[in-house]
Amino acid sequence: MLKYVPTCRGLQTVLLLLAVVLGSQAVSAQAMQKQYRLVKQADEPFKLILVDAPVKQPGEHEVLIKVRAVSLNRRDVMIAKGFYSVGANKSLVPLSDGAGEVAAIGSKVSRFKVGDRVVAIFFQRWLSGRPAADVGASALGGSIDGMLSQYVTLHEDGLVAVPVHLSYEQAATLPCAAVTAWNALVSRGHMQAGDNVLLLGTGGVSIFGLQFAAASGAKPIITSSSDDKLARAKSLGAMATINYRTTPEWEKVVREATGGAGVHQVLEVGGQGTLAKSIASMGGGGHVAIIGGLAGFGGDIPAVSLMGRSLSVTGIFVGSRADFEAMNTFITKHKLQPVVDRVFDFEDAQAAYDYMESGNHFGKLVVRLPD
């Protein structure tokens, strides 16, 4: 009988096969990785630094993910500048949004297997229904370490499957901006076919809102200071476009575009700089979702106007895993393709931050991680 004596290469092959079979052994317990951290300076904002870090092995209900792509949100720039509270952290792995492949699983994981394509949810502990009091403490890239790392280890409940027709780069754009738009327009706004929908600007949330509205049979209207961006928005299904810089009284044009009826849904990102105009744009029974404050927060909510036209105003901070899964079903049904403005290499992460801060992007910015 022949006896197999493994060579060095043969031994490596055997170990690799065992790793695939065992799952949780797919990455060595001593493995190291590259990850970015925001490190707090003495009296300055955070600095983005690339470091070596150990790969955290998954616990019983945890999943080890080889991250393939991440995406940025305005929130990430604000955190880096120290405008958002990140608790007592003086060092943090940034970014809430990322997608990758399951590299290993804990012994009691039931929702995923090695090789599955997954994307993390923004709030790791908000699975469905109303957010509990401790949900905020589970926000990736803010309260806890985020996704700008070659490997991350998360609880299996904090992940959803990637829609089959999307790439990792496209899937990485979904957790914050897309779920925010979905929650604002669908879960809380109950958008219907035929609704007039106002979208402010052409950042990630607004472009997802445009795509969701158009696919739902609603009639989206979008604003921007760039005619080129408005032309791109038109190609995505915008019924009307308005340059708010050349048309400062844009709320009047919104009402004209709707034949005087006003809009039924607003994705409000400007805060005190635009809220009054957004409300003036609305028709009876409309809903405005406040999702940001690019011009600062504050200002008066006109209670009499809200009551007189039966308007509602809702504060939106992303959404739950249930929202994410419902959105993914819709995205899959309509074969929607997230709009990715630019993809940066891992070593150019700071350039992605700089480009996000410039405001020149249309849709989402992505960082691709190395194999």
How far is residue 272 from each of residues 185, 211, 265, 300, 311, measured CA to CA in Å?
Answer: 21, 26, 18, 8, 18
Asked whether the beta carbons of 228 and 248 are under 8 A apart, the reply is no
Smallest Cα–Cα separation from 91: which of 44, 49, 34, 154?
49
Asked whether the beta carbons of 58 and 24 are under 8 A apart, the reply is yes
**DSSP characters for 109-143?**
--S--TT-EEEE-SBTT--SSSPPTTGGGGBBTTT
* 189-315 is a CATH 3.30.300.30 domain: no
Please list the pLDDT of the chain residue by residue as tens digits (371 residues).
333 344 444 433 333 334 434 444 457 777 999 999 999 877 778 899 999 999 999 999 999 999 999 999 999 999 998 887 665 567 899 999 999 999 999 999 999 999 999 999 999 999 999 999 999 999 999 999 999 999 999 999 999 999 999 999 999 999 999 999 999 999 999 999 999 999 999 999 999 999 999 999 999 999 999 999 999 999 999 999 999 999 999 999 999 999 999 999 999 986 566 888 999 999 999 999 999 644 445 556 666 677 778 899 999 999 999 999 999 999 999 999 999 999 999 999 999 999 999 999 999 999 999 98
Q: How many CA atoms lie within 13 A of 254 on its CB side?
A: 28
Pairing of strands 263-268, 196-200: parallel
Give residue 366's Cα distance to chain centre.
11
Cβ atoms < 10 Å from Cβ of 284 = 11
What's the pLDDT score for residue 36?
98
Smallest Cα–Cα separation from 106: which of 56, 150, 148, 69?
56
Residue 312 tokens read as 């509602």
- At which residue do the structure tokens 């993910």 appear? 65
Sequence spans of domains, the chain: 22-176+320-368, 189-315
Asked whether the beta carbons of 38 and 60 are under 8 A apart, the reply is no
- Rounded CA gap, 134 and 136, in Å? 6
What's the pLDDT score for residue 24?
44
* 22-176+320-368 is a CATH 3.90.180.10 domain: yes
Asked whether the beta carbons of 106 and 25 are under 8 A apart, the reply is no
Task: Express each pLDDT in 91-135 by its tens digit.
Answer: 899 999 999 999 999 999 999 999 999 999 999 999 999 999 999
The amino acid present at 282, given as its one-letter code, is M
What's the pLDDT score for residue 298?
53
What's the pLDDT score for residue 12?
38
